[in-house]
Amino acid sequence: MSIAHSGLQHHVDEPLQTGVPLEFSTEDGATKILGFWLFMVTDVLLFACLFATYVVLYKHIGAGASAAKLFGDDVSGFTAETFILLTSSFTCGLATYEMRHGSHSRLKLWIVITMLLGLSFIGLEVYEFSTFVSHGDTMSTSAFLSAFFTLVGTHGAHVSLGIIWMGLILYQISRRGVNPVTARKLFIVSLYWHFLDVVWVFIFTVVYLTGVM
Amino acid sequence: MSTVPAKAPAPETHQGGFPWSHVAGYLLSLVLTIGAFALVFHAKLSFHETLFVILFLAVLQILVQLLFFMHVTERHGPSYHMMMFGLAMFFVFVIVGASIWIMSFGSMVS
């Protein structure tokens, strides 16, 4: 692709490949989706480091609360967070499904529902964190709590970014409709969202369930 | 990538239909989560047995997300994204597995 074509409208010049979903129909779209898989590999690296740190440090509680006490007192919070995020992954998948099957009003509805579920997840997490801090369990209390807040907080920051990102793409789809560029953008943000769900399943398993065992 | 002929499955471009595979994926993810929860709170397994099983359930969750929601089986040319996924899993194994091994080595021998 020449530099002259690298403006906002460059996809128009490319031949459309037929028989594949819209987001894969241009070389530009397919390459960017592949590039996003590469990004997810590097993000897996980030989370792997944080998980390794957590697993190594989670028994080093010093004078602070243990994982069993911190998470075992009230399991409803993280249980609700888990089911909310699983459901949002499903509704996000439905948005991609509707994008491919031509119902663009339902596509927008599923994106809005996904964003609302994401917001309620973040709300619960903020409430959980503030409850811990108000009980004196802060990030600087112990190595366990440093690792916990860093790991879970990094995931929460990813989800927050995902909600903003999804809102911007919803705006673009409202303005420009579904074309190879917006379809590719929605497909990529949905990959990101499912990826965050996978990371949460491991936080749920390794941090919370292992903590209360 | 454009030089490779598309090996797409039946293109999903038609109206109507019900997203059965998405519903199936969602139900599977719920079953796996409830299973892990029930195992921790109701089953009488040892710590290590429980840990092993719930980690296995979490790995199944990855597969559900990949297969039902992330469209990994759709092929538009070589499956580079699956090679990347394999690379990611290798990184996880090395970083997490080796960290646990190294950091617990001193306590295991003493």
Range of the domain at A50: 22-212
A28 occurs within a structural domain: yes
Per-residue pLDDT tens over the stretch B7-41 = 444 444 444 578 888 999 999 999 999 999 999 98
Distance (Å) from the C-alpha of residue A102 to the closest C-alpha of chain B? Answer: 6
Residue at A5 is within a domain:
no
Domain assignment of residue A10, yes or no: no
pLDDT for residue A138 = 92
State the nearest Cα–Cα gap between B37 and chain A, in angstroms.
7
- CB contacts < 8 A, A to B, total 148
Of B16, B81, B100, the CB nearest to A37: B81
CATH number of the CATH domain containing A69:
1.20.120.80
Largest CA distance in chain B: 66
CA A47: distance to chain centroid? 12
Residue with tokens 């989706």: A33
Helices A180-202 + A104-134 axis angle, to 10:
30
Task: Report the C-alpha gap between B88 and B92 in whole angstroms.
Answer: 6
The domain limits of chain B are 1-7+15-78, 79-110
Are the C-beta atoms of residues A145 and A64 closer than 8 Å to each other? yes
Give the residues of chain A that fall short of pLDDT 70: 1-16
Two tokens at A73? Answer: 């007192």
pLDDT digits (tens, 9 = 90+) for B36-85: 999 998 888 888 889 899 999 999 999 998 888 888 777 666 788 888 88
Determine contact: A86 vs chain B, CB below 8 A. Answer: yes
Report the distance separating Cα B90 and Cα B77, nearest Å: 23
Q: Tell me if A162 sits within 8 A of A193, measured CB to CB.
A: yes
- In A, minimum Cα distance to B104 occurs at A56
- Residue burial A40-75, b: 16+ Cβ < 10 Å; e: rest: bbebbeebbbbbbbbbbbbeebeebbebeebbeeeb
Residue A159 domain-assigned (yes or no): yes
pLDDT at A1: 42
CA A6, A37, B17: angle at the middle one, nearest 5? 95
Tell whether A50 is covered by a domain.
yes
pLDDT of residue A10: 46
Task: Give dist(CA A93, CA A194) in Å, integer.
Answer: 8
Q: What is the pLDDT of residue B56?
A: 93
What tokens does A76 get?
A: 């409803």
Spell out which residues of chain A touch residue B99, defining contact as CB-CB under 8 Å.
Answer: 52-53, 55-56
Name the residue among A20, A190, A209 with its Cβ closest to that of B36.
A209
Output the pLDDT for position A129.
95
Partner-chain contact A213 B36, CB within 8 Å:
no
A66 in a domain, yes or no? Answer: yes
Chain B neighbors of A40, CB-CB under 8 A = 84, 88
Point out the residue among A27, A48, A97 whose CB comes nearest to the CB of B91. A48
Integer Cα distance of A190 and A97 in angstroms: 11
* Number of other CB atoms surrounding residue A7 within 10 Å: 9
Q: Which of B47, B37, B63 is nearest to A205 (CA)?
A: B37
| Number of structural domains chain A divides into | 1
Query: Has residue A117 been placed in a domain?
Result: yes
| CB contact at 8 A, A100 and A180 | no
**How far apart are alpha carbons B12 and A128 in whole angstroms?**
41
Nearest to B55 among A30, A38, A205 (CB): A205
pLDDT tens, B78-106?
Answer: 788 888 888 888 988 999 999 888 887 76
Q: Tell whether B77 is within 8 A of chain A (Cβ).
A: yes
- Taking a C-beta distance cutoff of 8 angstroms, is the pair B108, B37 a contact? no
Cα distances (Å, whole numbers) of residue B109 to A11, A168, B48: 61, 54, 19
Q: How crowded is residue B18: how many other Cβ atoms within 10 Å of its Cβ?
A: 8
Can you tell me which residue has the tokens 């719920």? B30
Residue A205: strand, helix, or coil: helix
- Give the pLDDT score at A20: 79
Q: Cα separations (Å) of A126 from A19, A39, A77, A122, A191?
A: 45, 27, 11, 6, 24
ipTM reported for the complex, 2 dp: 0.82
